[in-house]
């Protein structure tokens, strides 16, 4: 015969939801720069005091083959409307993207190469 205390414990466990062991969540994915979507007005700085304002760190590659993005500098902001077409601005407030330019490839998030042909601009991936 069940004691009164055992009866209450049994009765109380019926209304409780079953406890499910926690599942392992995958680690948060590291945000890769969306190189293929970068166009528009760009502010480039190599001043270490402005490094915290930059979204990504960029390396200017001398060889086209090693660059992640081929960039063509537009003279008009309205024509910088496709990946790799950049209008370089001198004011950080008016820029769509702010990049810190480094001289060390290992510290960069991605590499760019300036091209003279507008049709060659774009993503290399």
| Averaged pLDDT, groups of 10, the chain, 125 residues long | 64 58 58 82 95 94 94 95 95 94 95 96 84
CB-based contact 114:120 (threshold 8 Å): no
pLDDT of 74: 96
| Pairing assessment for the beta strands 122-123 and 85-88 based on DSSP bridges | unpaired
What are the residue boundaries of the structural domains of the chain, listed by start?
Answer: 35-119
* Torsional sign, CA 50, 53, 57, 61: negative
Residue 54 tokens read as 């930059």
* 22/76 Cα distance (integer angstroms): 55
Task: Render pLDDT for 82-104 as a digit per residue (tens, 0 to 9).
Answer: 999 999 999 999 999 999 999 99
pTM, rounded to two decimals: 0.72
Residue for token pair 């055992």: 6
pLDDT of 23: 62
CA proximity to 110, closest of 120, 100, 121: 100
């Amino acid at each position: 015969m069940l004691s009164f205390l055992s009866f209450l414990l049994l009765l109380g466990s019926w209304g409780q939801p079953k406890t499910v062991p926690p599942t392992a969540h995958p680690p948060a994915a590291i945000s890769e720069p969306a190189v293929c979507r970068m166009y528009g007005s760009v502010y480039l700085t190599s001043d270490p005091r402005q490094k915290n304002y930059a979204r990504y760190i960029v390396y200017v590659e001398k060889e086209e083959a090693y660059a992640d993005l081929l960039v063509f500098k537009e003279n008009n902001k309205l024509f910088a409307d496709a990946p790799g077409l950049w209008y370089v601005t001198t004011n950080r407030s008016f820029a769509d993207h702010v990049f810190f330019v480094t001289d060390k490839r290992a510290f960069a998030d991605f590499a760019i190469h300036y091209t003279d042909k507008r049709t060659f601009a774009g993503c290399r991936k």
